Amino acid sequence: MRQTMADMVHRIQDEICDALKQLDGVEFRQDEWTRPEGGGGRSRVFSGGKVFEKAGVNVSVVHGTLSPQAAKSMGGGHELDGADLDFFATGISLVLHPHNPMAPTVHANYRYFERGEGKKSGSWWFGGGADLTPSYLFEEDAVHFHRVHKDVCDRHEVADYTRFKQWCDDYFHIKHRGERRGLGGIFFDDVNDASREDCFAFVTECAEAFLSSYLPILALRKDMPFTPEQKEWQQIRRGRYVEFNLVYDRGTTFGLTTNGRIESILMSLPLTSRWEYCHEVAEDSEENRLLEVLREPKNWLQD
């Protein structure tokens, strides 16, 4: 399964980057890196293109020994077992930040983890998900994004869209702001309730669904007109994105506590962002319309 998962995430990285290269009109920068403790990765970043201000698609295949701090950052109760601190992890992580404030940022990652040799009960699991983070609310975009992921979940017994959607809303909660980072999607961890092969099949279809979940939305929004004020609002929302990733994101914490490659860990951050003191929006504004669903997440699918 280690090699099978590593092969899959490299294939998905190639497919997504090929699509983004055609869309954005620029080549990505590629860095292949190694980690002194074991393993390495392949990072690809787009910048200076016509669609994305910054876009990154990373894969990693790493192994080594966890510190107690790193084991704790994984969550899920894994830190309760002091044995088997040797680990293997592989996955794909991507974040796309478009220029146009009408086009949403999107994030996805899918990963496989083993403790020890991965033979004991609970010593291996899959995790991941995908979520949409707009600056302006287009409800049809949220419906499409959630529909694609629900359809994938519905085809796999190991998946539960309703639970994974709630998990996503809860995880991407900027507690000190009282709002979610975006409109959610799905998020899951510790998936090992079926065979490795069945869990892998679910994660693979999720990863394969990324382009169909996001590119139709991007096509509708990337060339829309916008004002300087709307661009400023996008920068403020990107500041919230930074706050979540640096304060709450477990993946960031895990990377930093396992001596990961800093440039790859912080690839998710936008190229530019803004913090305006005591920023407020009008109650009848489109900006406040977005804030309302970030404060009180809604069910985008009625069935």
Per-residue pLDDT, 260 = 75
d(CA 142, CA 185): 8
Residue 66 has pLDDT above 90, yes or no: no
Q: pTM of this prediction?
A: 0.93
Which residues are known catalytic residues? 107
Four-point Cα dihedral 105, 52, 30, 21, nearest 10: 110
pLDDT digits (tens, 9 = 90+) for 218-271: 999 999 999 999 999 999 999 999 999 999 988 888 788 777 788 988 889 999
Residue 76 has pLDDT above 70, yes or no: no
- Which residue range forms the structural domain that includes residue 93? 2-294
Say which residues have a Cβ less than 8 Å from residue 74's Cβ, sequence separation at least 6: 113, 250, 254
Residue 198 has pLDDT above 80, yes or no: yes
185-194 mean pLDDT:
95
Taking all residues of the chain, what is their mean pLDDT, rounded to a whole number?
92
* C-alpha dist (Å) from residue 234 to 219, 227, 274: 18, 11, 9
| Selected residue with higher pLDDT from 252 and 141 | 141
Structural domain includes residue 106: yes
**Helix residue ranges per DSSP H, 34-138:** 68-73
Token code pair at residue 75: 């969550």
Per-residue pLDDT, 80 = 44
Structural domain includes residue 218: yes
Q: Amino acid letter at 44? A: R
Structural domain includes residue 301: no
90-105 mean pLDDT:
97
Per-residue pLDDT, 82 = 56
Domain count, the chain: 1
Structural domain includes residue 267: yes
Structural domain includes residue 303: no
Per-residue pLDDT, 122 = 75
Three-class SS state of 159? coil
CATH number of 47's domain: 3.40.1500.10
Token code pair at residue 279: 């920023």
- Report long-range pairs for 168-177 (Cβ below 8 Å, ≥24 apart): 168/129, 168/131, 169/297, 172/131, 172/244, 173/248, 174/240, 174/243, 174/244, 174/247, 174/248, 175/248, 176/243, 176/247, 177/240, 177/243
> Do 288 and 282 contact (CB within 8 A), yes or no?
yes
Q: How far is CA 87 from the centre of its chain?
A: 22
Structural domain includes residue 302: no
Structural domain includes residue 300: no
Per-residue pLDDT, 267 = 87
Per-residue pLDDT, 259 = 73
Structural domain includes residue 184: yes
